[in-house]
Amino acid sequence: MTDREARAALPGIVLITGVAGVGMVAVLATSLGLVPLYGDAELGLDGWRKAAPDLAAGAAETLRIAVPASLLAAVIGLLLATLMLVGGRGAVLVRTGCLAVLAVPHLVGATSVGLLLGDGGVAARALAPVVGDTGWPALVGGSWPVATVLELAWKESAFVALVVLAAVAPGHARRMQVAAGLGAGRWHRFARVLVPTATPALAVSSMVTLVYAVGSYEVAWLLGRASPEPLPVLAYRLFGSIELTDRPAAAAAAATAAALAMLLAAPALAALPRLRTGLSPDRGLS
Amino acid sequence: MTSRARSIRATSRPALPALAVTLALVASACSGPSPDESPRAADRPWDEVVAEAQGQTVDLWMFGGDEAGNAYVDDVLTPAAAELGVTLRRVPVADTKDAMNRVLSENAAGSTDGAVDLVWVNGDNFATGQEAGAWWCDWADDLPNLQYVADDDPLVAEDFGVPVDGCEAPWHKAQFTFAYDAARVTDPPTTVAGLLDWAEQNPGRFTYPAPPDFTGSVFVRQALYALSGGADEVPTSYSDEAFDDLTPALLDRLSELAPSLWRGGTTYPRDQQALDQLFADGQVDFTMTYGPATLTDLVADGTFPSTTTVLSVEDGTVGNASFLGIPASSPDQAGAAVVANLALSPEQQAAKADPAVWGQFTVLDVGLLDAADAARFANLPDSPVVPPYEELSRNAQPELASSWVNPLDEAWRREVLGSP
C-alpha cells in the first residue's frame, strides 16, 4: 500500500476503529467487571467463569446455524444471479423479488418463517392430509436449527445474488459470446467462465453473510430451541438477566461471538486478494 | 526481521498500554451507583405533588403483548390522567426486563432525565432495581388512595420477599392459573403433583415454558412447592441449605418427566406466548398464566377453544401483586405519582376489574370503600372463563423471595434442560 493509498483509507479506518473499537473495548471492559451496573468496578474474570460452561456449546450451535446458512445462501444467490444475467422479463422479476426480500427485516422474515414452518403452521396444515396431525417434523425449535438456517439463507441469498450480479454483469455478455465462440457449451460457460468470474464477489458476500449469521440474534431466538443457545442469544439472555452480576457474563458471551466472527473472517480476508488477482475476468479473458 | 514485521511490532507496541489506559479510564468512569443510594421523596402535601404534575408527560413502560391491558391504559387510564393535567403515554415493551435495562443503564449513568417515568413491575425486576438503588422511594406511602388498601395485606407489603418500602404502588393482584381444554381432558388432575402425573400418563400433551421465562419460572417454583410437601415446607427466604435440601427432588422429578412432555422434552416453548400458541393449535392440552385475565379475551376471540377451563387445584397456586414503580432517573416523578394514585382509585380499579375491560383483580379492600364504590365491584359481571378471585386464590401460596428465582432457573437449565 502506498502512502497515498494509506491516506485515502485513513478516514474509513478511523471511523471503523472509532465505532467498532470503542464498542469492543466497552464489551471487554464489561466482561472483566470494569463497567458494573452498580457498586465499584473490580477487575476480575467472574463474568468469563460464569459464561464458560455455555460458551463451547454456544459456539458450536452458532456454527451449526451460520455455516449451512451461508453455504445455502451462496448456492441460491449464485443461481439467482445466473437467472438475472440471462436477461428478459424473468430477470426483472427475479431482481424485483430479491429487492423485496432485502427490504424485509429479519425479524419479520423470522416471524413469517415461524408461521409457515412451525407446528400448526401453514405448511403443517396444508400437508396434514399427507403427514397426519403429528407427522410434521420439528423444523421450528427442534433439535436441528432448520427454520433458522432456512430463514437466514432465504434473506441472505438475495443479498448474495445482487452483489454477484453487480460484480459479474459488466462484460458478461461479451465473455459468454467469446466462450461460446470457442465452443463452450452452456454448462462449461457456467462452470468455467461465470463461476470463476463470480467467485470473488461470492466469497466476499458469503463472508459478510457468515459474519452476520454468527452475530444474528433475533432469528435464532425466534426460531431456535431453548438450549443450547447460539452465542448472541446467550449474550442477550444474560444481558437481560435479573441478576445484575450477569452483565459481565453477557459481555463475555458477546466477546466470544465477536472473536468467533473474526476468526472466521480472517482466513477469508487473507484469501480475497489472491482470489481477485487469480480469477479476475480481465486476466482470464484478455 | 522483515520491514513488514518490524512495522507491525512497532505499531503494536503502543497498542497494549493504550488499551490498558482505555480500560482504566473506562473503569474509573463507570463505577455504578451503590445499592443503598435510592433517592427518597420529600415529605410534602399531596396538593403540591398534584400542582407540580400539571403539564408533565408520563411515559409508562409496560408489557405490550396484552391487548386488553393496552386498551385499558389507552382508553380508560389515559383520558382520566388528562383530566388531572397529566399526559400519559404508554410505551410497549416485549418484556419488563427491557424497561429495567433502560432504567438500570440510566441509573448507572447518573441520569436524572431518563426516558422511563413509570414501570409496570413486580418480583425479580423490582428486586433488581432495589439492589441497584434505581427506584425512587417513599413516594408510594403518601398516595391518598392507599387508604383503600388493607394495611395487613401481605401481597402488597412485600414483593417477592422484598419489602415494598414505599418504592412502588400496588396496581392489581394476580394468581398463577392452569387452564385446560375440557373437550380433550376428561379426567383433569386436582393437584399440581397430579398434573405432573397426568403429563406422564399422556405423553406429548403437556409442556411448560423454559425458565428464565417468567411463566416457566413460576411453574418450577409451583412444582417445588408441590414436590416439597407444600408451600409451608419451603422457606420463603433463600438459603443454600434449603436449596440443597429441596431442589434435588424437584430437578429429578422434572428430568424424569421430560421424556413425557411435548417433543419428548428435547425442547420447550420459549415463553408463555409460545405455549399459548401450542394450546391454541391443539398441540398440548394445558396452558398456564400468571395473568388469567387474558383467558377471557382469548376464548372470546376464538384463539382458545370455547371449552377452555381453569384448572382448580386443591393445593392452591401462588399469587402476587403487580405494582407501578417510578425510577430514580424519571424527570416527571410528580406526574408519575399522580398517575399511580389515579390507577389506585376505586373507579379505575373497578373499571380494570371488569372482564370486558381487562379483568385484573383489584388490590383494594372492598370493605374499606364507601357504599357507592363498593357497589362498583359488587356489580361487576363475571367472566365466563375465569372464576372470581376469591375462588381462584383459595389456598393461595406466597411467592418465594426473588433470591430463589435465579438459582432455581439456573439449576433447571443445567439439570433438566440438558437432561434428555
Output the DSSP codes for A139-169: -SSSSS-HHHHHHHHHHHHHHHHHHHHHHHS
Alpha-helical segments (H) within B258-380: 272-280, 293-300, 333-343, 346-353, 371-378
* Average pLDDT value for residue range B305-317: 93
Chain A residues close to B98, C-beta within 8 Å:
240
Residues whose CB is less than 8 angstroms from the CB of residue A163 and which lie 6 or more positions away in sequence, other chains included = A77, A201, A204, A205
In 3D, which of B316, B304, B313 has the Cα closest to residue B184? B304
- Chain segment A218-273, per-residue pLDDT in tens: 999 999 988 889 999 999 989 878 777 788 999 999 999 999 999 998 887 787 77
* Average pLDDT value for residue range A159-181: 91
| SS3 at position B145 | helix
Query: Does residue A207 contact residue A87 with C-beta atoms inside 8 Å?
Result: no
* Average pLDDT value for residue range B204-226: 94
Q: How confident is the model at residue A107 (pLDDT cuts 50, 70, 90)?
A: very high
* Average pLDDT value for residue range B367-379: 94
What is the average pLDDT value for chain A, to the nearest integer?
88
CB-closest option in B101, B267, B402 to A226? B267
Pairwise CB contact (< 8 Å): B263 & A241: no
Size of interface A-B (CB pairs under 8 A): 111
Pairwise CB contact (< 8 Å): A29 & B27: yes
pTM of the predicted structure, to 2 decimals: 0.79
Lowest mean pLDDT among A27-36, A130-139, A157-166, B179-188: A130-139
Please determine, for residue A78, whether its predicted confidence score (pLDDT) is greater than 50: yes
In whole angstroms, give the CA distance from residue A151 to residue A69.
8
Q: Please, which residues 177-216 of chain A have a Cβ atom closer than 8 Å to chain B?
A: none
Q: Is A41 on the interface with B (CB under 8 A)?
A: yes
In whole angstroms, give the CA distance from residue A240 to residue A235.
9
Please determine, for residue B316, whether its predicted confidence score (pLDDT) is greater than 80: yes
In whole angstroms, give the CA distance from residue B217 to residue B183.
28
Please determine, for residue B313, whether its predicted confidence score (pLDDT) is greater than 60: yes
**What is the 8-class DSSP label of residue B39?**
-
Please determine, for residue B193, whether its predicted confidence score (pLDDT) is greater than 90: yes
Q: How confident is the model at residue B132 (pLDDT cuts 50, 70, 90)?
A: confident
Please determine, for residue B199, whether its predicted confidence score (pLDDT) is greater than 70: yes
Q: How confident is the model at residue B97 (pLDDT cuts 50, 70, 90)?
A: confident
pLDDT at residue number B3: 42
Burial of B30 from C-beta contacts in 10 A (0-12 / 13-18 / 19+) = middle
Pairwise CB contact (< 8 Å): A242 & B127: yes
Taking the CA of residue A134 and the nearest CA in chain B, the distance in Å comes to: 9
pLDDT at residue number B36: 58
CB-closest option in A53, A143, A244 to B131? A244
Please determine, for residue B1, whether its predicted confidence score (pLDDT) is greater than 70: no
Please determine, for residue B186, whether its predicted confidence score (pLDDT) is greater than 70: yes
Please determine, for residue B376, whether its predicted confidence score (pLDDT) is greater than 70: yes
Residues whose CB is less than 8 angstroms from the CB of residue B180 and which lie 6 or more positions away in sequence, other chains included = B188, B285, B286, B287, B308, B309, B311
Q: Is A25 on the interface with B (CB under 8 A)?
A: yes
Cell of B84: 388531572
Query: Which candidate in A30, A37, A234 is best for mutational testing of the B interface (most B CBs within 10 A)?
Result: A37
Chain A residues close to B104, C-beta within 8 Å:
37-38, 244
Pairwise CB contact (< 8 Å): B417 & A240: no
pLDDT, greater one: B32 or B311: B311
**What is the 8-class DSSP label of residue B40?**
B
pLDDT at residue number B218: 95
- Chain segment A19-53, per-residue pLDDT in tens: 888 889 999 999 998 887 777 788 889 899 989 98
Query: Which candidate in B8, B25, B30 is best for mutational testing of the A interface (most A CBs within 10 A)?
Result: B30
Pairwise CB contact (< 8 Å): A41 & B133: no
- Which strands make up the sheet holding B286-289, listed edge to edge? B286-289, B177-181, B308-310
Pairwise CB contact (< 8 Å): A40 & B31: yes
Cell of B42: 420529600
Pairwise CB contact (< 8 Å): B125 & A221: no
Pairwise CB contact (< 8 Å): B417 & A226: yes
Burial of B11 from C-beta contacts in 10 A (0-12 / 13-18 / 19+) = exposed
Please determine, for residue B373, whether its predicted confidence score (pLDDT) is greater than 70: yes
Chain A residues close to B22, C-beta within 8 Å:
25
